[in-house]
């Protein structure tokens, strides 16, 4: 990638709420251009089943973005939880083969980042709108990959993402974090808690990952772009272009 060149990220999401499309430009101003394609919601079925059904039609959503996108990013923590690690990996590989561009997904990116940092135990913090079923599936997702999930919490925060301030996230997580956790994952791309990451790391002395932050990290690595971005945690503070990424 040439200096000064922007990456066009095609964001695929089954959610109507803002997420990566808002936080990517904030995290990497002048470095990324975001185009978003939202999958139509599936009605008449339970939420987890709806997410699984939406995963099957991401190809159609990607067709709207290709060939303009340099990288495709699946901005849905909950979709990864709903389908599981193996199916999410297969989905990424299928999209990559069809559209011939790097493809990253949120939950896979979180696993890759935790492994790179040699984390063994993790605390999961999800927004209240996830509900207990997705919260439990999140714990199962990371345990399936060998991590000790010391806790998985639905944060006691407003049920509206637009009403959640970074300071609220910092206070809640800092007060409830288990001392056994090596790292924290703030799951949910609509959570938009990237601006809480630096303060949380400073206060807790733990690695903190946030859904859009870790997806952007994976996107930049896959595009060969620098990941040394200030103010959004240690994950983005180091240029990881010399390491391999999913």
Give the pLDDT confidence of 31-45 residue by residue, as tens digits.
899 999 988 877 667
State what percent of residues in the chain have pLDDT above 90.
74
Provide the pLDDT for residue 243: 45
Burial class (CB in 10 A: 0-12, 13-18, 19+), 126: buried
* Average pLDDT value for the chain: 91
Provide the pLDDT for residue 241: 54
Residue 242 pLDDT grade (very low, low, confident, very high; cuts 50, 70, 90): very low
Q: Output the six-digit token pair for 194.
A: 């990237």
Report the alpha-carbon distance of residue 104 to residue 71 in Å, rounded: 8
Of 30-44, 97-111, 160-174, which range is least confident? 30-44
Q: Say whether pLDDT at 8 is over 80.
A: yes
Provide the pLDDT for residue 195: 94
Residue 228 pLDDT grade (very low, low, confident, very high; cuts 50, 70, 90): low
Q: Output the six-digit token pair for 168.
A: 């609220």
CATH architecture label of 7-107+212-226: 3-Layer(aba) Sandwich (3.40)
Provide the pLDDT for residue 17: 83
- Cα-flanking dihedrals φ and ψ of residue 61, to 5°? -65, -40
pTM: 0.93
Q: Where are the beta strands (DSSP E) in 40-94?
A: 71-74
Task: Answer whether 113's CB lies under 8 Å from 237's CB.
Answer: no
DSSP state of 236: G
The string of pLDDT tens digits covering residues 50-64 is 999 888 888 888 888
Provide the pLDDT for residue 119: 97
Report the alpha-carbon distance of residue 123 to residue 183 in Å, rounded: 6
Provide the pLDDT for residue 4: 57
Q: What is the mean pLDDT of residues 204-224?
A: 95
Provide the pLDDT for residue 239: 66
Residue 16 pLDDT grade (very low, low, confident, very high; cuts 50, 70, 90): confident
Provide the pLDDT for residue 104: 97
58: nearest Cα among 39, 72, 79: 39
Q: Say whether pLDDT at 2 is over 80.
A: no
Contacts of 27 (CB under 8 A, 6+ apart): 194, 212, 213, 216, 229, 232, 236
Residue 3 pLDDT grade (very low, low, confident, very high; cuts 50, 70, 90): low
Provide the pLDDT for residue 246: 38
Fold of 110-211: Rossmann fold (3.40.50)
- The domain ranges of the chain are 7-107+212-226, 110-211
Whether the domain at 7-107+212-226 and the domain at 110-211 fall into the same CATH topology: yes
Q: What is the mean pLDDT of residues 153-176?
A: 96
Report the alpha-carbon distance of residue 11 to residue 19 in Å, rounded: 10
């Amino acid at each position: 990638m040439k200096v000064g060149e922007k990456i066009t990220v095609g964001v695929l999401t089954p959610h109507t709420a803002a997420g990566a499309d808002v936080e990517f430009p904030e995290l990497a101003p002048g470095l990324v251009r975001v185009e978003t394609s939202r999958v139509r919601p599936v009605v008449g079925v339970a939420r987890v089943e709806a997410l699984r059904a939406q995963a099957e039609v991401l190809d159609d959503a990607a067709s709207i973005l290709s060939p303009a996108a340099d990288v495709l990013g699946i901005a849905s923590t909950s979709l990864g939880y709903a389908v599981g690690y193996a199916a999410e990996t297969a989905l990424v590989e299928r999209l990559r083969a069809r559209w011939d561009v790097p493809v990253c997904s949120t939950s896979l990116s979180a696993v890759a980042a935790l492994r790179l940092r040699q984390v063994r135990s993790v605390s999961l913090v999800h927004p209240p709108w996830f509900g207990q079923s997705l919260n439990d599936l999140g714990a199962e997702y990371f345990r399936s990959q060998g991590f000790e999930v010391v806790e998985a919490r639905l944060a006691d925060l407003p049920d509206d993402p637009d009403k959640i301030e970074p300071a609220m996230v910092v206070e809640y997580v800092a007060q409830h974090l288990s001392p056994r956790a090596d790292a924290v994952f703030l799951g949910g791309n609509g959570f938009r808690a990237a601006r809480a990451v630096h303060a949380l790391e400073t206060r807790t002395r733990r690695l903190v990952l946030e859904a859009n932050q870790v997806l952007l990290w994976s996107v930049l690595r896959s595009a060969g772009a620098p990941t040394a971005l200030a103010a959004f945690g240690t994950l983005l503070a180091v240029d990881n272009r010399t390491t391999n990424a999913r």
